[in-house]
């Protein structure tokens, strides 16, 4: 970990894990960082101001109305910091940040903070599982805040479960990666699709698939962190700091991607697009009547990936439309339940994309709905690179690094 001259602002809230942050400060200082600490009033029930001052070699900030210069404390601290870490983060503070409640110095700084923020929650396991807490965390993630989930173990309240502050090593690694992350996509526009398309049968029925959209969302978050201008075209409800276009059907998705095509540098088709749609949509709910069987006539949906690749091969207009970009990278995804290598090789040749990411959906521990994945990257020149099982966020980073380094 190398954090020489980096400015790290740590917010400590009122939880028993507050004492662990003393060692975390020491680790950051040892790596060369300049550390400042904000505490909530309740945090001082678990750790003293003098201890934090000695370890950080800086003043410890608690009151909101004690500025030492003309600039209000919460603004000057937000401007000073390169990153803000809140650890441990209580359910109370998390809820306040979500709602924009700025009733103490820490929440005021969080409200004014526009750079990278990492939150490491710690609380009773039942509080962690509370629907309101989980909804708040999902909202923060949607806004670009990185959440480091707590670990399982024995809790100070006597319970055993998920609620312990995650390891200091994990926190250090997340801060190090955030501060030293290579902005390899700065100046690039990346269009990503995610989720499973929905093809209506009638007002109450539809054809779809099991795609959760998590892989596409991980790619969008990671591309954004890498400095890209991101457009996420998705069938899911997503709150994000980048542009999100909500679509439903394959045709909707095709139109949305085509609208972004000219100005894009990279297009990643991670969505699970339905191969077929109903030929004759019924405006009224279909009645079963006395029929034992129902036959639906299906028609093929456009192959969005193949048509994008075909469009790229067409001669470019001269002059180029304003904002249009050349030399696009087009990436496809495929889900296979058997003969993954053979099927993927055939598909990349047929579709004409630069890369094809193949998922093995026969495995229950990866793929649809899972937070983990294991994929194989095929490139147009015949190269094959397998990415071993990891979180979808890690897989997303490796995919983006791989396709931009070729």
199-202 vs 205-207, strand pairing mode: antiparallel
Average pLDDT value for residue range 251-271: 97
Tell me how far apart the alpha carbons of residues 356 and 166 are, in angstroms, rounded to a whole number.
Answer: 35
| Strand blocks (E) in 250-346 | 266-269, 276-278, 298-300, 329-336
* Nearest Cα residue to 285 out of 200, 197, 196: 200
Structure tokens at 269: 């088709």
Main-chain dihedrals φ then ψ at residue 164, nearest 5 degrees:
-70, 140
Average pLDDT value for residue range 11-33: 96
Q: Note whether 7-180 and 189-405 share their fold.
A: yes
Peptide bond into 82 cis (omega under 30): no
Average pLDDT value for residue range 277-295: 88
Q: How confident is the model at residue 199 (pLDDT cuts 50, 70, 90)?
A: very high
Structure tokens at 318: 């001269």
How are strands ordered across the β-sheet holding 83-89? 60-61, 34-39, 7-12, 83-89, 116-121, 146-147
pLDDT-above-90 percentage for the chain: 70
Decide: pTM greater than 0.85: no
Q: How confident is the model at residue 378 (pLDDT cuts 50, 70, 90)?
A: very high
Average pLDDT value for residue range 311-316: 86
Of 4-18, 156-170, 254-268, 271-285, the one with minimum mean pLDDT is: 156-170
Q: How confident is the model at residue 71 (pLDDT cuts 50, 70, 90)?
A: low
Main-chain dihedrals φ then ψ at residue 166, nearest 5 degrees:
-60, 165
DSSP state string for 111-150: HH--SEEEEEE---HHHHH-HHHHHHHHHHHHTT-EE-PP
DSSP-assigned beta bridge partners for residue 325: none
Main-chain dihedrals φ then ψ at residue 117, nearest 5 degrees:
-125, 135
Main-chain dihedrals φ then ψ at residue 178, nearest 5 degrees:
-65, -40
* Nearest Cα residue to 200 out of 283, 260, 272: 283
Q: How confident is the model at residue 70 (pLDDT cuts 50, 70, 90)?
A: very low
Question: Has residue 15 got a pLDDT over 60?
Answer: yes
Tell me how far apart the alpha carbons of residues 165 and 170 are, in angstroms, rounded to a whole number.
Answer: 10
Q: Residue ranges of the domains in the chain?
A: 7-180, 189-405
* Topology given in CATH for the domain delimited by 7-180: Rossmann fold (3.40.50)
Of 4-13, 102-111, 117-126, 179-188, the one with minimum mean pLDDT is: 179-188
Which residue in this structure is represented by tokens 């001259």?
A: 5
Buried b / exposed e over 59-85, threshold 16 CB at 10 Å, is ebbbebeeeeeeeebbebbbeebbbbb
Q: How many CA within 13 A on the CB side of residue 198?
A: 15
What is the average pLDDT value for the chain, to the nearest integer?
91
151-154 vs 160-164, strand pairing mode: antiparallel
Q: How many CA within 13 A on the CB side of residue 114?
A: 4
Structure tokens at 319: 């002059």
Question: What's the sign of the alpha-carbon dihedral 282, 284, 288, 290?
Answer: negative
Residue 272 DSSP one-character state: B
In the chain, the N- to C-terminal Cα span, in Å, equals 27
pLDDT digits (tens, 9 = 90+) for 42-61: 999 999 999 999 999 999 99
pLDDT digits (tens, 9 = 90+) for 338-363: 898 999 999 999 999 999 999 888 77
pLDDT digits (tens, 9 = 90+) for 28-46: 999 999 999 999 999 999 9
Average pLDDT value for residue range 150-155: 87
Q: Look at residue 262 in the predicted model and tell me its pLDDT.
A: 93
- Architecture in CATH for domain 189-405: 3-Layer(aba) Sandwich (3.40)
* Catalytic residue IDs: 157
pLDDT digits (tens, 9 = 90+) for 236-248: 999 888 999 999 9
């Amino acid at each position: 970990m190398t954090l020489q001259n980096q400015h790290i602002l740590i917010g400590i809230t009122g939880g028993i894990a507050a004492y662990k942050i003393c060692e975390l400060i020491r680790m950051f200082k040892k790596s060369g960082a300049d550390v400042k600490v904000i505490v909530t009033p309740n945090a001082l029930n678990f750790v003293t101001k003098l201890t934090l001052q000695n370890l950080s070699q800086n003043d410890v900030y608690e009151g909101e109305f004690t500025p030492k210069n003309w600039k209000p404390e919460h603004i000057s601290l937000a401007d000073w910091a390169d990153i803000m870490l809140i650890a441990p983060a209580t359910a109370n503070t998390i809820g306040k940040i979500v709602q924009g409640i700025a009733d103490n110095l820490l929440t005021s700084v969080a409200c004014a903070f526009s750079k990278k923020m990492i939150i490491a929650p710690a609380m009773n396991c039942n509080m962690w599982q509370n629907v309101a807490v989980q909804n708040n965390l999902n909202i923060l993630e949607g806004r670009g805040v990185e959440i480091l989930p707590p670990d399982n173990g024995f809790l100070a309240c006597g319970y055993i479960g998920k609620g312990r502050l995650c390891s200091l090593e994990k926190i250090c690694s997340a801060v190090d990666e955030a501060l030293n992350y290579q902005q390899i996509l700065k100046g690039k526009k990346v269009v990503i699709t995610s989720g499973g398309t929905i093809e209506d049968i009638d007002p109450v029925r539809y054809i779809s698939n099991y795609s959760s959209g998590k892989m596409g969302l991980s790619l969008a978050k990671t591309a954004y962190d890498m400095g890209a201008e991101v457009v996420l075209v998705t069938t899911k409800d997503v709150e994000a700091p980048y542009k999100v276009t909500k679509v439903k059907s394959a045709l909707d998705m095709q139109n949305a991607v085509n609208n972004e095509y000219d100005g894009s540098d990279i297009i990643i088709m991670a969505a699970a697009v339905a191969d077929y749609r109903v030929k004759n949509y019924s405006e009224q709910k279909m009645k079963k009547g006395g029929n034992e069987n129902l036959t639906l006539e299906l028609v093929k949906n456009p192959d969005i990936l193949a048509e994008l690749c075909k469009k790229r091969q067409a001669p470019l207009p001269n002059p180029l439309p304003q904002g249009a970009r050349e030399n696009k990278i087009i990436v496809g995804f495929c889900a296979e339940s058997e003969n993954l290598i053979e099927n993927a090789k055939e598909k990349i040749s047929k579709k004409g994309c630069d890369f094809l990411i193949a998922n093995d959906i026969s495995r229950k521990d990866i793929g649809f709905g899972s937070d983990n994945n294991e994929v194989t990257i095929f490139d147009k020149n015949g190269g094959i690179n397998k990415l071993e099982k990891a979180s979808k966020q890690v897989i997303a980073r490796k995919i983006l690094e791989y396709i931009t380094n070729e």
